[in-house]
Structure 1
Amino acid sequence: MSRRDFDPETVRADGRVAAKGVVFDAGAGGPWRGFLAGEVIGGEVTVLAYGNDTPGEGPRLHVHPYDETFVVVEGRARFFVGDEVIEAGAGEAVLGPAGVPHRFENIGQDRLQTIDIHHSPRWIQTDLD
């Protein structure tokens, strides 16, 4: 499928160069594998890697001053975003809007693995419980 969503002549490079950073150590244990702040590589988003093997387990209730997008890479999760409850599985994404408290938990019998995209060059969070 060929796409042409914009005219490349209308966009100017801003002078940044390609960069690489480590999000997580693939051999590390524990649920929080690591994160890469966008500001480290000159990007606009911060990327976190989270995973656990325990049903009912997940991050505590918290809030950010920016949007967060959760991509379920493996397993199933139940997301609590404000008053909404959303179940998502591998290949699906959930939005946590700025200023809305949220958390999620593993609802499968196997590993839950997510990539959490913070729409900010820095990870800024307030835990609520």
Structure 2
Amino acid sequence: MARQDFDPANTPPDGRPASKSRLFDPDKDGPWKGSVPGLDLGSAVTVLAYGTDEVGIGPRLHVHPYDETFVIVQGRARFFVGDAVLEASAGEVVLGPRGVPHRFENLGPGRLQTIDIHHSPEWIQTDLE
């Protein structure tokens, strides 16, 4: 069934051109790492690629003034989001709500690879550890 969620006639283009930027080098060995600020794309979101081959390793506890959405591309992770502890694996998505401290770690075995969407045109973060 075709989707028709809105009337395109009521949402005219805002004049921004299409744009692109490199998030990571796919030809480089090892986990993907990189970031693209939304400001570089004329977008309201910033995108990060995070990966590690080390079990038990991940970003330190931190917080943002906006939501962060994590897409698990490969592997398994344990997320600590406020008082919640969530395990997620490839194909799953986790939300870190704005203002809630969070971190995650690779559960293994093997590589953990995520794409992290910061709901902000800039990456703004306060590390708590």
Q: Does 1:112 align with 2:112?
A: yes
Aligned residue in 2 for 1:65: 65
CA distance in 2, matches of 1:65, 1:26: 31
Extract unaligned runs of 5+ from structure 2.
none
Distance change (3 Å), C-alpha of 1:32 and 1:101: farther
Query: Tell me, what secondary structure is at the counterpart of 1:9?
Result: helix
Q: More displaced, 32-41 or 88-97?
A: 32-41
Taking the aligned partners of 1:32 and 1:4, their CA distance within structure 2 comes to: 36
Cα distance in 2, alignment partners of residues 73 and 32 from structure 1: 11
Say which SS state the counterpart of residue 20 (structure 1) adopts. Answer: coil
Q: Deviations over 1:53-74 (max 9, x none)?
A: 1111100000000000000000
Which residue is equivalent to 1:43? Answer: 43
1:27 to partner: Cα distance: 3.9
User: TM-score, normalising length from structure 1?
Assistant: 0.95
Q: Equivalents in 2 of 1:101, 1:52: separation in Å?
A: 21
1:42 CA displacement: 0.3
Shift of 1:30: 6.6
Q: Taking structure 2 as the reference length, what is the TM-score of the superposition? A: 0.95
Which ranges of structure 1 fall in alignment gaps of 5 or more residues? Answer: none
Question: Which consecutive segments of 4 or more residues in structure 1 shift more than 6 A?
Answer: none
1: CA distance between counterparts of 2:26 and 2:32? Answer: 11
Task: Look up the equivalent residue of 1:50 and give its one-letter code.
Answer: Y
User: What one-letter code is carried by the residue in structure 2 that aligns with 1:75?
Assistant: G
The amino acid across from 2:92 in the alignment is E
